[in-house]
Homo-oligomer: A and B are copies of this chain.
Amino acid sequence: MADLATQPAATTSAETAATPDLLARFLNVRDLSRAWSALLSAEDQMVQSCSEASPVKWHLAHTTWFFDTFLLREFQPAYQAFNSDFIWLFNSYYKALGDHPEKSLRASFSRPSLEQVLDYRTFVNQNISALLQTLDTFPPKTAREITSRIEIGLHHEQQHQELIATDIKHALFTNPLHPNLRPLPGIPPAPHKHAADWISFPSGLASFGHAPDGDSAFAFDNESPRHLQYVAEFELASSLVTVRDYLAFINDGGYTKSNLWLSDGWDTITAEGWQAPLYWRKAGNGHAAEWEIFTLHGFLPLADLLDTPVCHVSYYEAEAYARWCGHRLPTEFEWESAAAAHFDANCAGFLTPHSLKFGFLHPTAHASLFGGVWQWTQSAYLPYPGYQPLAGALGEYNGKFMSGQMILRGGSLVTPSGHIRATYRNFFQPQTRWQFSGIRLARDPAGVSSNPETSRPRT
């Protein structure tokens, strides 16, 4: 299979001078999806191993469909589509665009072949490039709409790049042979061990959400409007909860004590038989030393991962763990307060997707708010005051999912570089575990829970 090192640098030729940055970025983002694909066989890219996941080939096609549908069919004069069936075949959930296949059918898409899908990608890339190069022939308002939609399309594709990573991880794990994506490249990186500190934040009324003139030019609609929230004094842990920490919870019977769990959480772990995070298994006779954790390098001994952040936990598990500690999860506004204060300093350490090429495909613990693992908050995914979805079918992108889900903040090892910001609102249902989701603790200033029965020092 192709190595990511061989992928061409993004084109920055003279023809794209009009919007060189956007075109370069477009090609760069598009190349990364293709690089993921190159790590896998066509057969690998057919697997859909759980109801949340999609085949990699589908991700490649759907992200292309996005540009096809929302850009080329609307703005490209005399556009001849690559394949007229693809408009409905690769629609994910946009009901305003008409019928679309049920998600579960994606595993039956042996046709079009991977080769055809890659041709589709090339075709759309060429047409978007052409569109960008003729951008000055459009009225200014239209040109702005075009670049705005391309921006959305790129961020959309970056979201799917993360899903490619999580979905193929699940696919490889589901295969009874448990193959790895690539062998372990030498010794795992030494953990960045940090003492667990509590960082204090004062109370106050502050603005949250995307500032149009802020650091990040782009934001999804659900990050707006910027608005005031009052946040009381709180403390946030300087590092993520580790495998070592979480193992203590398991060994203390955390999964057997109903008083630690939300009612829905208890029902879930009972019905599903969960006794550890997703991807953990016990080899041998059950000693802690014999846990193994499935990574993109295959199963590794837990003992080698003790100081990496615990990962692939549901909201229920994150919340129960926090209660066991006598602490709690942060709200999304607490998290964003901290991120706003610390963004510059810590982002230096963020693992870029170049780690995909060289690095260790399992999160490492470090002090950054970003990277590593997504962090469950105790905030439900709800609209900000005054929220308005985008007009038209794109309004279905985020708004219609605002029930039954919880907010995660931060980013993960497999979140593409450039797809990260302090106001980003990730969201999943509370039982979801196949994402790279972990835990950062918060607490109230007194530092200990007022309920002596559940309070205990965090180790």
Q: A337 to nearest B CB, angstroms?
A: 13
* Distance in angstroms between the alpha carbons of A368 and B291 in the assembled complex: 60
Task: Assess the A378–B389 pair: CB atoms within 8 A.
Answer: no
Q: A362 to nearest B CB, angstroms?
A: 20
Task: Assess the B430–A403 pair: CB atoms within 8 A.
Answer: yes
A213 sits at the interface (CB 8 A): no
CB-defined interface of A94-105 with B at 8 Å, one 1/0 digit per residue? 011000010001
Task: Assess the A378–B388 pair: CB atoms within 8 A.
Answer: no
Task: Assess the B263–A85 pair: CB atoms within 8 A.
Answer: no
Select which of B46, B171, B262, B404 is within 8 A of A47 by beta carbon: B46
A430: nearest chain-B partner, CB-CB:
B403
* Distance in angstroms between the alpha carbons of A403 and B389 in the assembled complex: 25
Given A46-B46, A46-B47, also A232-B385 (CB < 8 A): yes
Q: A38 to nearest B CB, angstroms?
A: 15
Report the count of interface residues on A (CB-CB < 8 A): 74
Q: Kindly list chain B residues whose C-beta atoms are within 8 Å of the C-beta of A385.
A: 232, 331, 444
Select which of B108, B113, B176, B380 is within 8 A of A380 by beta carbon: B380
A386 sits at the interface (CB 8 A): yes
Q: Kindly list chain B residues whose C-beta atoms are within 8 Å of the C-beta of A232.
A: 227-228, 385-386
**How many copies of this chain does one complex carry?**
4
Select which of B49, B89, B391 is within 8 A of A177 by beta carbon: B89
* Distance in angstroms between the alpha carbons of A232 and B207 in the assembled complex: 12
Instruction: Name 12 interchain pairs, CB-CB below 8 A, sorted by A.
Output: A41-B110, A46-B47, A49-B108, A88-B176, A95-B266, A110-B175, A111-B179, A112-B177, A264-B403, A315-B403, A316-B403, A385-B444
> Residues on A close to B: CB < 8 A?
41-49, 57, 85, 88-89, 93, 95-96, 101, 105, 107-114, 171, 174-177, 179, 205, 227-230, 232, 258-259, 261-266, 315-316, 319, 331, 378-380, 382-383, 385-386, 388-389, 391, 395-396, 400-404, 406, 430, 444, 449-451, 453
- 5 residue pairs, one from A and one from B, having the closest CB atoms: A380-B380, A43-B110, A95-B258, A46-B46, A44-B110
Known pairs A46-B46, A378-B382. 19 more at Cβ < 8 A?
A41-B113, A44-B110, A44-B111, A45-B110, A46-B110, A89-B176, A93-B263, A95-B259, A96-B258, A96-B259, A112-B177, A232-B386, A259-B396, A380-B380, A386-B444, A389-B451, A395-B451, A403-B406, A403-B430
